[in-house]
Structure 1
Amino acid sequence: MADLLYPPVIGAARAWFKALDLRFDIHGTEHVPSRGGAVLVSNHISYLDFIFTGLAARPAKRLVRFMAKDSVFRHKVSGPLMRAMKHIPVDRSRGEGAYAHALKALRSGEIIGVFPEATISCSFTLKDFKSGAARLAQEARVPLVPMALWGTQRLWTKGHKRDFGRNHLPVSIRVGEPMNTDQDEPAAGVTERLRERVQELLEAAQRAYPAVPKGAADSWWQPAHLGGTAPTPAQARAL
């Protein structure tokens, strides 16, 4: 079935980025396979991360099918859009159906987008990764493609108002080399290697980020270990 809606949605998103005057710093998009299945794995710091993760696949002319919580598919506006773009609903109490759906898509040559932290990290640091992405890649015999986003939390994240003003916000995207998986390696080991790679990409994006907080009131988007006022990982878990 042809993707009749997905390309226009991407076009609308790109027009919106231009209207917001977002400044992109993107490296590594050549690592997204131009054909065949793959699991694209990113950190999760914003409600809009799926848009920017999908943007990383555009140079390869690929459309990413994201795994997202099923409540998004029940919404009267987002639900029809998500289904039309062939994204995959995940019932967190019964994940077998979503896993089977994603596995079938991978075997048919699709790219599946996964946020293995499952929820937004309020500390803007990496949380523990769930093993689903690694297990999917191993069973489908496709590569894992790690990536990291930075700056997206300044647009819209948990506990903060949306900022869709024309304020020249930079967004950094880093895509790493595909990781092949050994069928005999435990999924936990693959997951740990994957998390380490995403951490490296995240730190690279943070080092290169061209903006700094404008005083203490603006330091909420910086993690505590970098001098910001975001919750520490322990505080975020308590919240």
Structure 2
Amino acid sequence: MADLLYPPVIGAARAWFKALDLRFDIRGTTHVPSRGGAVLVSNHISYLDFIFTGLAARPAKRLVRFMAKESVFRHKVSGPLMRAMKHIPVDRSRGEDAYAHALKALRSGEVIGVFPEATISPSFTLKDFKTGAARLAQEARVPLVPMALWGTQRLWTKGHKRDFGRNHFPVSIQVGEPIEPGQEESALSVTERLRDRMQELLEAAQRTYPATPQSAADAWWLPAHLGGTAPTPAQAQAL
């Protein structure tokens, strides 16, 4: 079935980015394979991360099918859009259905987008990873493509008002070399390798990010270990 809605949605997103005057630093998009199945794996710091993760696949002319919580598909606006773009609903009480759906898509040559932290990280650091992405890649015999986003939390994230003003926010997107999971390797070991690589990409994005907080009140989007006022991982977990 042709993707009739997905390309116009991408076009609308690009127009919106221009209206917001976002500045992008996108690196490593050549690591996204131009054909065949792959699991694109990103950190999760914003409600809009699926848009920016998908943007990383556009130079390879790939459309990403994201695994997202089932409630998004029940929403009267987002639901029809998500279904039309062939994203994959995840009912956490019946995760095996979403897994089977994603596995079938990978074997048919699709790119599946996964946020292994499952939910937004309020500390803007990497949380513990679920092993689902690794298991999918192993079973489908496809690569894991790690990536990191930075700056997206300034637009809209958990516990803060969204800011869609014309603020010239920089957004960093770093894509790393594909990871080939060993067939005899445990999913936990693959996940640990994936998380280590994504940590490197995230730190690189933070080092090169061309903006700093302009005041103490503006330091909320910077992690505590970098001098910001975001909660530490322990504080975030307690909350």
Say yes or no: TM over 0.5.
yes
Gaps of 5+ in 2: none
Matched AA of 1:230: A
Question: How many correspondences in the alignment?
Answer: 239
**Whole-Å Cα distance in 1 between the matches of residues 154 and 93 of structure 2?**
31
**Whole-Å Cα distance in 2 between the matches of residues 215 and 55 of structure 1?**
31
**Whole-Å Cα distance in 1 between the matches of residues 155 and 213 of structure 2?**
14
Instruction: Name the counterpart of 1:173.
Output: 173
**Whole-Å Cα distance in 2 between the matches of residues 6 and 230 of structure 1?**
35
Mapping of 1:220-235 within 5 angstroms?
220-235=220-235
Matched AA of 2:55: L
2:147 partner SS: strand
Same amino acid, percent of matched pairs: 89
Q: Does 1:217 align with 2:193?
A: no
Shift of 1:93: 1.4
Q: Does 1:187 align with 2:187?
A: yes
Instruction: Name the counterpart of 1:141.
Output: 141
Q: TM-score, normalised by structure 2?
A: 1.00
Shift of 1:45: 0.1
**Whole-Å Cα distance in 1 between the matches of residues 128 and 161 of structure 2?**
26
Gaps of 5+ in 1: none
1:59 partner SS: helix
Mapping of 1:147-158 within 5 angstroms?
147-158=147-158
Deviations 1:85-138 (A, max 9, x none): 000000011100000000000000000000000000000000000000000000
Instruction: Name the counterpart of 1:202.
Output: 202
Instruction: Name the counterpart of 1:60.
Output: 60
**Whole-Å Cα distance in 2 between the matches of residues 79 and 202 of structure 1?**
31
Instruction: Name the counterpart of 1:76.
Output: 76
**Whole-Å Cα distance in 2 between the matches of residues 112 and 177 of structure 1?**
16
Matched AA of 1:13: A
Deviations 1:142-197 (A, max 9, x none): 00000000000000000000000001000000000000011100000000000000
Q: TM-score, normalised by structure 1?
A: 1.00
Matched AA of 1:10: I
The runs of at least 4 aligned residues of structure 1 exceeding 3 Å deviation read none
**Whole-Å Cα distance in 1 between the matches of residues 23 and 118 of structure 2?**
27
